[in-house]
Structure 1
Amino acid sequence: MAAANEDEILEGFLCPICKADLKSASQLTSHFESLHQEEQDVLKSLKDIFGKAKKIILNNDENDLKETFDRALKFNYQEQAYYSQEQVIGVSRSSTDYFKAVRSARLERYATETNKLLIRLDKLVCNMPSEPNLRKQYEQEVVPWLDGSSVKLCPNCAKTFNITRRKHHCRLCGSILCHDCSLFLDLNIARAIVDPSAAISAEVQDQESLEKNGLRLCEHCYNLVELRKQIQDSRNAKTVVMTAYEQMRSLMEQAKPAVAMYEKMCQSLFDGETTYNLSDVNAMRGRIGKLAEGIDLLSKQIAAHPSTPGTREARLHAAIRQAAAHYIKEDLLSLRKLPTEAQIEEVRRQRYERAEKQIQMERQRMEAEEISNETAGASSAAMVDHDDDDPLLEQMNIIRGYIKEARRELRFEEVSGFFFNYNIHCNSLCF
């Protein structure tokens, strides 16, 4: 730090002779050695500048600034030593440690600054009033605004503030800027940044609505927040393997009820029931076959995804493929064999004969209980005369139409329910 006059104070790594700002200690030393060699006494005193400054700073706040100052001083020494080494022709040297030190210092600075902005952003979006005046007061309470009474130019574009170009403040750092240099952050996106579990509204706001309801930010704060959002999106983005695996699991979940339905339909055929026919069961088997093909294809894609042999990723891909192949073989391809048409007809014939015997026995029992043969004969004649108008027959015809439609759509659970009602009507008609 050097004083140019009584009214102005200059800060930086300034040359005590020409007042040039050299940006770093190593550049200041090199500049002085090359251009001001005659001032050797001043050159020696430059080496004590950092030590004296360190003592002053540590006396003010020893606990907070000691670590920061030591790290900065060490970095400057490393930088000076790196550039002062003589490069030998034909000999290579590693710069990894130096570059890591430069990168770590920069990343630490950006990470600290970004975290501070996120804390302020969280406070801003939580409990923000909807009324404009109350909202403005709330924003000033969370982030104090800089006093712009002495600011005549926009710090970003250097244009003069006037009646048409008003002063505005960044809601995250409180700095002053004009409207043209302002960027606006959607409140829904802001809430999603501070709370990744929050759902983002799909509604796209126009520029006028965004300027009215969004957060006004300077370019620097907006870029830091946008970078944080990009990092969140990249972490939450699904990889190709994850997407394929989720699709494969979805097909497996669809296959489970399909296999259970197939077993139920097969058992119905073996029992001689007329709820399902052979074409229905073959259609269900074909559906299961398509699901098996999809699972097999997706598992092959996962296994073929590029990965280093022997790594955990490669073993995981192979395990997924092996598990899918085992599932297809054991659960989807080992389905019960369907009966032939002849077997189905034989079982149904036997079932029909048993049903006929039961109906005949029931009719004989009912006839024995009739009061007289004449009453029984009159009732029978009335039933024959009104067969065409019987509501039971009409209901049975409607149910047949429902059964055909459900079969076309492969909704076999509905077919089973319709057949149950149909059999009830049949029994009612017979008795």
Structure 2
Amino acid sequence: MDGEIKEGFLCPICHIDFRSPKILLSHFQEKHAEEQDLLKSLKDLVGKAKSKILKVDDRDIEAIKSDVTFQRYFLEKSEPQNPGISRSHIEYFKEVRRERLDHRTSETNKLIIRLDRFLRSTGTDRKQVAQELVTWLDGSTVSRCPSCAASFNLTRRQHHCRLCGSIMCNSCSTFLTYEEARSITTSVYSSDTSVVQNKHKDDQDTLRICSHCKGMLDCRSKVQMSQSHHPLICKLYQQLQRAKNQIQPNVDLYIKMFTSLDMGDTTYTLHDAQHLKSSIAKQAEILDTISCKISAIPPKAEFPREFSLQNSIRRGTNMYIKEVILTLPNLPSPSELVKKREQRLLLNSQESAAADSVHVAVKKVAVTTGWSPANVANNLEASTADGGEDPLIEQINIVRNYIQQAIQANRFEEVASLRENLNMLKLMHKEQQKSQQQHQPRDK
């Protein structure tokens, strides 16, 4: 065949094109009758191809696929090749993208600055004000509109963009209202949305700009909207994370308090531990409520995976409550606590004897929570009515007030330190009263 490629209804033996399946079959029956197997396969192949062309059922097409094999029609199956040398262009892509984004951001910022200056300008001639803000392109050098390539004439006049100074025709111009301009120049995060408004600039007035500047301003408006608008699931998830961050320190403190009470230590009280556990239970209820709200949000059709995400958040919260909150150890009963402390006192008899010594030193407690000795004035008045102002009693009342505030804030480590100081102050007050009674003159 000398490398010539033919196509059509070719005879597989003599390679002649007969231009129709009927002529090909009749030729094969006459000239190649001895090749019955090949003739049968040829009939089957022609019939299946004809059925496929005529769009037969899918079952016949599947039968054709199963009948046509590589070995039957002498086709060679190529082995999969090993991949060659590859090169990653991610870093190059990031570099190019970063440069383009920086350029687009700087150009957009320039437009915003010019637009803001235009809104704050005091001139009455808006055209003159626009020419002072940006240099206009010379119209004599431009014969056609850069956007639509239409030539300028008497009916198609040249117009300048008020923000970049480029030239366009009236059809390619875009008009921006002053109300839209003020909303663009006003920051999303600013609580004060008022912008200097001149008397000659009404909200119904428009500002002629090109389509390129309009596109960049629209992109900035979309970014502002995306930054200011958060979906409900995002807001609830942020609340869930804040609640979880608040509950975890209380869980750690409760375990520490339980360990101390179980060892018979007197650093913490059983009442404080119970109060902290009830606070943890309330916080767990808040976690469960927020996760229920997240799972109850109706999913959107454009986000098919949102429903699975909501269920995952719900399951994760339930697992956290079961594994962390519900597995907290139970506190000992008051009778068990008394026995544990008696055993601890027997083991530490020497330390308890040293603690009962006369010399008492008062610790300094650094209060960093902004507490103030509120409601101490009433206690001071009571102490004054009893026996005059006593600085030691005043200090005792202040420490008691700090203890109440620390309990409300679940700062039980500081509660333990403050109570230790309160006990020391009471011992000092008792020693002071004893010394005063001893130095008082006896009646004859």
Q: What is the TM-score when the length of structure 1 is the normalising length?
A: 0.46
| Greater helix proportion | 1
